[in-house]
């Protein structure tokens, strides 16, 4: 009826793939019983249970996830899509999401979009076929596409708010207000915001936050566009920062902030005496710089954990639950790259 098809060597070559059929034969039961014994421990007699387990052990049985997925549609796999794997901003989140997934016996797949909405959508579509649920981190595609995806399979969005979809979003205003307040007290009057990618929802939120808080403190603001939100991108915008007349800079992320600081320092500008710099995210290495970087910490690790948990809960419930919106707080981490403006120095800088 069923050909084992194994090119059997005489030796105890226990290589490769034993199926539940092999176990069934070894344990003297029916394949379906094996399946039950392995999955619903309790719905099978104790001795059968043991026989099956032993045989499985003996044959080094490894379930074939594809065969299972084909029937059940479930793969015990989560997908995580982000804009740039190498962006340290995501490290904590990846790690956190990964480990909570593992804890619940799920595997995680990662893909990146290279900041392109199209690539992102394609990656998401492809992943949808493979995973039980998806986490979209800082997605660049438009709301409608996100909702379409969310309608297909459970999904959680991080770092962006989308109507009708579960989201985990840092509330940037707390951290920003603290930062602006401090900058104002230190004598700054004009703040430059280094914008993130055009498609970035979060960059807009941060810019809004900066404007609001600045208005409150009667500070002037100016928005400077940048290319990619990387160290290099920060370097490139240094000249523009200098000519903007701003004495303090809030960057879309730490990478930009660090790049800017490096370039300014190379040009003889003293941080923070001439210009104060504040980043976002508190990435790994943000405290390695001289001076160490003042930054608004987004608890990305918390976001990762929360997102994964939310998603896994959805999967467990299997029900059409309400989309939830989780806000996590941000805080200012005051370090050396921001400080009181030295009037004399300020003049030198221009």
Partner DNA sequence: TTGTAGGCGTTATCAG
Partner DNA sequence: CTGATAACGCCTACAA
Question: Which residues would be at the binding site for DNA (CB under 7 A)?
Answer: 2-3, 5, 17, 19-21, 28-33, 35-36, 38-39, 43-45, 47-48, 61, 63-64, 67-68, 70-72
Q: In angstroms, rounded to a whole number, what is the distance separating the alpha carbons of residues 234 and 231?
A: 5
Binding of a copy of itself by 257 (CB under 8 A): no
SS3 content of the chain, % helix, strand, coil (to 5): 45, 15, 40
Query: Applying CB under 8 A, which of residues 43, 50, 126, 239 lies at the interface with a copy of itself?
Result: 126
> Which of 125, 215, 266, 267 is the binder for a copy of itself (CB under 8 A)?
125
Q: Cβ closer to a copy of itself: 25 or 68? A: 68
Distances (CA, A) of 194 to 280, 302, 330: 11, 25, 19
In the list DNA, a copy of itself, none, the entry touching 32 (Cβ below 5 to 8 angstroms by class) is DNA
Q: Report the candidate in 335, 345, 174 with the shortest Cα–Cα distance to residue 247.
A: 345
Residues with Cβ within 8 Å of 40's Cβ and at least 6 positions away in sequence, in order, are none
Q: By CB under 8 A, is residue 226 in contact with a copy of itself? A: no
Q: Residue 140 and residue 81: Cα distance in Å, rounded?
A: 11
**How far apart are CB 16 and a copy of itself at their closest, in Å?**
6
Question: 2 touches which of DNA, a copy of itself, none (CB within 5 to 8 A by kind)?
Answer: DNA
CB of 157 to a copy of itself, least distance (A): 19
- Which of residues 197 and 259 has its CB atom nearest to a copy of itself in the complex? 259
Terminus-to-terminus CA distance in the chain, angstroms? 86
CA distance 183 to 24: 72
Q: How far apart are CA 85 and CA 113, in angstroms?
A: 9
Distances (CA, A) of 257 to 54, 112, 146, 196, 213: 59, 23, 30, 11, 20
Taking the least distance from each CB to a copy of itself, the nearer of 197 and 209 is: 197
Secondary structure letter of residue 192 according to DSSP = E
Among 164, 215, 243, 284, binds a copy of itself (CB under 8 A): 284
**Could you tell me if 158 and 303 are in contact, meaning their C-beta atoms sit under 8 angstroms apart?**
yes
Q: Does 116 bind a copy of itself (CB under 8 A)?
A: no
Binding residue for a copy of itself, selected from 4, 28, 41, 65, defined by CB under 8 A: 65
- Binds a copy of itself by CB under 8 A, chosen from 25, 48, 58, 109: 109
Question: For binding to a copy of itself (CB under 8 A), which residues are involved?
Answer: 15-16, 62-67, 69-70, 75, 85-86, 88, 91-92, 94-95, 98, 107-112, 125-130, 151-152, 258, 284-285, 288-290
């Amino acid at each position: 009826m069923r050909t084992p098809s194994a090119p059997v060597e005489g030796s105890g070559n226990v290589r490769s793939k034993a199926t539940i059929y092999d176990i069934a034969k070894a344990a003297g039961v029916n394949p379906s019983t094996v399946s039950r014994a392995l999955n619903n421990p309790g719905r099978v007699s104790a001795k059968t249970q043991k026989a099956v387990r032993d045989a499985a052990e003996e044959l080094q049985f490894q379930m074939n996830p594809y065969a299972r997925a084909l029937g059940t549609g479930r793969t015990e796999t989560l997908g995580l899509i982000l804009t740039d794997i190498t962006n340290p901003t995501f490290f904590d989140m990846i790690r956190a999401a990964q480990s909570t997934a593992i804890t619940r016996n799920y595997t995680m797949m990662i893909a990146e979009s290279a900041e392109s909405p199209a690539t992102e959508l394609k990656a998401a579509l492809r992943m949808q076929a493979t995973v039980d649920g998806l986490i979209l981190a800082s997605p660049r595609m438009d709301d409608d596409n996100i909702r379409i995806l969310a309608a297909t399979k459970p999904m959680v969005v991080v770092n962006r708010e989308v109507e009708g979809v579960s989201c985990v979003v840092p509330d940037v205003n707390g951290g920003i207000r603290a930062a602006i307040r401090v900058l104002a007290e230190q004598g700054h009057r004009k703040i430059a915001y280094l914008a993130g990618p055009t498609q970035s929802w979060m960059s807009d939120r941060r810019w809004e936050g900066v404007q609001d808080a600045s208005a409150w403190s009667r500070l002037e603001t100016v928005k400077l566009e940048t290319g990619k939100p990387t160290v290099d991108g920060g370097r490139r915008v240094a000249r523009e920062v200098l000519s903007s007349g701003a004495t303090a800079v809030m960057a879309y992320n730490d990478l930009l902030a660090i790049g800017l600081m490096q370039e300014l320092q190379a040009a003889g500008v003293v941080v923070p005496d001439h210009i104060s710099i504040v980043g976002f995210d508190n990435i790994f290495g943000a405290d390695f710089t001289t001076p160490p970087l003042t930054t608004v910490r987004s608890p990305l690790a918390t976001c990762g954990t929360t997102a994964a948990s939310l998603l896994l809960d959805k999967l467990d419930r299997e029900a059409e639950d309400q989309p939830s919106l989780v806000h996590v707080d941000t805080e200012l981490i005051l370090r050396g790259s921001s400080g009181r403006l030295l009037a004399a120095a300020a003049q030198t800088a221009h």
